Structure formats: structure tokens, C-alpha cells
Amino acid sequence: MSITPIVTVTGGKVSGIERDGVSVFLGIPYAAAPVGPARWALPQPVTAWEGTRAATEFGATCVQSPYPAPIHALLGSDGIPGDEYLNVNVWTPDPAGSGLPVLVWIHGGAFTRGSNARAIYDGSAFARDGVVVVSLNYRLGASGFAAVAGAPHNRGLHDQIFALRWVQENVAAFGGDPGKVTVFGESAGGMSVVDLLAAPAARGLFQQAIVQSCNGSAVCEADDAAKVGAELARHLGIDYTAAAFGQLDAQQVLEAQNTIALELMMNPDPARWGPSLIANGLGILSFYPVIDGDLITARPVDIVAAHSDRVPLMVGWTRDEFRFFTFPTGLAAAITDDTLPALLTRYGLDPVVLDAFRPSRPDATPADLFAAIITATVFRDDVTRIAESPTATPTHAYEFAWPSGIPELGSAHALEIPFVFDQLDSAHTLTGPNPPQPLADEIHTAWVRFATTGNPGWSPFTTADPVVRVFDSPESTTVTGLRTAELDAVRRAHLAR
């Protein structure tokens, strides 16, 4: 006989569903619906409901456009309509239990796309192994990150902090220990984790963190973000004020947001958009976190690297991150021996960096070299800086190296996620038809171990002993000094840092 689990949370009672010994609660609102003027304000407490609310289907997602066709083919897209999109999902092995470790997942999507409803984020395998999983939604795009006169900055990050407070207040109702919370995220979710590590308002809301495939420098100056916000208002034909934005529906703002993002990518002019927004967003990000003097006071990587008392960390990247953005998108076809130096300069690198990457890649095409160099620059450099910094708490580092069965992807961005969640059956468009289950078992177990004990199963990274766990199939290895010459070359090649 199936069991209907019921728990009481902020707002009232919710009923979930039981699947194979795991209790699942979906779409629980953690804050009030941010619609109308509230879309441009700080998150507010959830409105209480009468009786028992069914939490058996995924909740709404923040308004967004589908991914472009090549990325959509790999990842799919998100979009569940509704106003209560500030919601969480919870998977637990035992709502009546206590003291269980907790993992809080923050999804990626360049701060403009994504949701907690994706199949590869299903937390059932973690719950099966004794961990409570909470996955959260937050405001995206202009709703979450546009700088608007009269509105608070970084509304999406404020949502994440509000959700973490919800976890502190409510996770015990699901058997979790609020004193054993690990926050983890990938891509924009990983950047969010670094931002939270840097934000004073988030301190004490989690005890450990896992940073997957992120850049710790992806923040822009508030004045530059205001230039983009003013452009958004001009496209909409409204005054550049929170009051004017609050009179629009979300779809109107989204259409203007998409126009701005396309214009920025096609013509990343620092004079128009602001130098920090272009440089730190790599000409790709358009609405993303801002140095606001409150949550973020400087580059997050610098703040976190300077914290000698930070929480225990696990940080990592995939070996071929930027192939995800280079080959499926068609960019590779435009990269030649003639265009490569100029393209590297656009990414803030002296083309002399090629001299460090060519010798170990004698058969590499210009596109292969570009993807390898930008992977090291964008995804490996900052998190390694964090791992290298002196701290009283350990930082463990990893690289995901198994290549996808999808041609030309290699060990691309986002490929490790279905291995982490042990959800390979939901990821064949990304992994190909035969991903190795033993590798998923190994990686998933490492995340469980870290959430439970703070030790994923290999030695911490230090400057004296820079240990990296390289996940691969048929065999993973532990390496000291992984491609350090290439990383050193990237650091020397930065034109401005």
C-alpha cells in the first residue's frame, strides 16, 4: 500500500508521494509569489494556506526562453507556467528521521535559464543513500539580476539566501540536520555557490559547499549593470524605474531581455554595455550578479580565497568544459589559425598562451586549442585559486575526464551532472547511449561521502601537494600537479586581471 507522507513547513502542511522507499515533495513555495511590483523587490515570506497542500508535481519556473536549438538538443529546456516559481523540491529517505545530512542544489543556466524540475536533478539516489536533497528555483534573467533604479540588486541571490533560511527552518521536518547542510551547484549554480560563500548574509546557512564548473569572477560593476538595465528600459519604452518595470508582465520583459542578450553577443562593445560586464561576462552573460556593496563587495573569488576560516569545499571542472559552447553552437567552424589569436584577445588573453598548449596537442585544430585554453581560463583558474589559498579547512579538487559519446563534445560542460545525481538514464542526449554506470557509482558515492563526512575519498588540495581526483572510465586516478604548465601559462597570459 502506498504511503502519503505529510509534513508541516512554513506556510502549512504539505503532502508528498512515496517512490521506492523515498519520500518526494515537489513545488513547495518558500517565498511569496514575486509578481507585478514584487518581481523587483526582495523576497517576502510565503502566504500561508489552509488544509494540506499537495506537493506531488513540479512547481512553476521563472519565465525564460528555450535554449537555442543545438543546446536544447543536448539539455532540453525548462518552462512551467505559474506565479509561485520560488519553490523547492525535497527528497528524503525518512521524514520521521533526524540528523540526516542535507544537500541543497542550485541549478545552472547562465542566470537566465534552468529550473529545479529537470530529470537529471532528481534527488532520489541521494535519498536512497541517506541524504536529504533540496533543490531550489530562483529569479532568473532580468527578473533576478537586471540593475533597475529603485530595486535591490541581485534579487536572484537574495532568493537563494531566503531559500537557505527556509532550509534551516524546515529541513528537520524531512529528517535533515540543519547543522549539516552542503550547498552545491553547477555553472551559474556553481557561481552562485561562490557568491554565497562571499556574501556575509549567507554565513551560517550552510556548513560545506561543492562548486562545480564555475567562474568566480563573473560579477560586474553596478554602474555597468545599470547601462544594461537602462537599455532594457529603452527597449520597453518605459522609465528606468522599478515602479515602471512593476507595471509590465513577465513576458514583455522577457522579450526585451532576449533582444538585449542577442545585441550584446553580436556586438560586445564595452563603451555601450560597460567594460566589467563584457569582460567578466565573457560577452555571453547579460544579466548576472552585481558588485552591490551588500551581498558582493568585490570579485567573489578574491573574497573566498581570502577567507582563512571558510567552510570545507570541494571544487572541480570537466576536462573539456568549453567544447560545449564551441562545437554544438557552430562556433568551431569560424575558428581558424588566422582568427584564433584575435578571438583569444577578445577573451582577455595574450595569444602567446598558444605556445603552452600546442606541444601536448600536436593534432589539435584551432577550435580544439581554443576550447582547451578557454576551459582553463574560465573554469579551472578561479577554482584552483580558491583551492590554493591558505585555509584552516580542507578543499578537495576534482576533474571529470570521461568523454561523452556525442561526437566532438569530449568531457563537456554539464556532463558530470547525471553522474553526480546517478541519473544516467535521463541523460542520453548528453552522454550518448552507453554511459558507464560504475563511474556514476563512484562519483555519486564521493558526493555522498562529502555531504556526510566532509571527505570525498581523496586527499585535499594544497600548494605543496596539489592533488586532483580525475574521474574517468575504466579507471579514475589521483594526480598531483595536473597540467600545471598550461594553468601557469593562462595566468601569465591574462591581459588584465
294-345 confidence digits (pLDDT tens): 999 999 999 999 987 899 999 999 999 999 999 999 999 999 999 999 999 9
For residue 392, the domain's CATH number is: 3.40.50.1820
Take residue 285 and report the three cell numbers written for it. 552573460
Would you call 300 helix, strand, or coil by DSSP?
A: helix
Take residue 100 and report the three cell numbers written for it. 540526516
Q: Tell me whether residue 299 is in a domain.
A: no
Confidence of residue 187 (pLDDT cuts 50, 70, 90): very high
Mean pLDDT value across residues 180-194: 98
Q: Could you give the CA distance from residue 298 to residue 115 in angstroms, rounded to a whole number?
A: 27
449-480 confidence digits (pLDDT tens): 999 999 999 999 999 999 999 999 999 999 99
Q: Tell me whether residue 424 is in a domain.
A: yes
Catalytic site residue 413? yes
What angle in degrees, to the nearest 10, is found between the helix axes of 188-198 and 155-170? 80
What's the confidence (pLDDT) of residue 1? 42
If one compares 57 and 277, the residue with the highest pLDDT of the two is 57
Domain that holds residue 417: 312-493
Q: Tell me whether residue 367 is in a domain.
A: yes
213-225 confidence digits (pLDDT tens): 999 999 999 999 9
Q: Tell me whether residue 418 is in a domain.
A: yes
Closest listed residue to residue 225, CA positions, set 282, 284, 154, 303: 154
pTM for the model stands at: 0.96
pLDDT > 60? residue 430: yes
pLDDT > 90? residue 444: yes
Q: What angle do CA 228, 231, 232 make, to 5 degrees?
A: 90
Question: C-alpha distances in angstroms, 249 versus 64, 143, 236?
Answer: 13, 11, 11
> Residue 77 contacts by C-beta under 8 Å, 6 or more apart in sequence?
64, 66, 67, 113
Structural domains counted in the chain: 1
What's the confidence (pLDDT) of residue 284? 80
Residue in 321, 399, 416, 486 annotated catalytic: 321
Residue in 153, 158, 396, 413 annotated catalytic: 413
Catalytic site residue 404? no
Q: Tell me whether residue 385 is in a domain.
A: yes
Percent of the chain having pLDDT more than 90?
89
Closest listed residue to residue 225, CA positions, set 322, 290, 285: 290
Q: Which residues pair with 209 in a beta bridge?
A: 183, 313
Q: Could you give the CA distance from residue 300 to residue 315 in angstroms, rounded to a whole number?
A: 14
Mean pLDDT value across residues 255-266: 91
396-414 confidence digits (pLDDT tens): 999 999 999 999 999 999 9
pLDDT > 70? residue 371: yes
Torsion sign across C-alpha atoms 246, 250, 251, 254: positive
Q: Tell me whether residue 451 is in a domain.
A: yes
Residue in 143, 187, 404, 411 annotated catalytic: 187
Question: C-alpha distances in angstroms, 6 versus 24, 52, 94, 96?
Answer: 10, 8, 11, 10
Write the Ramachandran bin of 80: left for phi over 0, alpha for psi from -120 to 50, otherwise beta.
beta
Neighbours of 342 (CB within 10 A): 9
Q: Tell me whether residue 353 is in a domain.
A: yes
Catalytic site residue 388? no
What's the confidence (pLDDT) of residue 495? 66
Mean pLDDT value across residues 353-372: 95
Phi, psi of 432 (to 5 degrees): 85, 175
Q: Please report, for the chain, how many H helices and E strands are present, in that order.
A: 20, 16
What's the confidence (pLDDT) of residue 2? 62
The answer to whether the bond into 474 is cis (omega within 30° of 0) is yes
Q: Tell me whether residue 103 is in a domain.
A: no
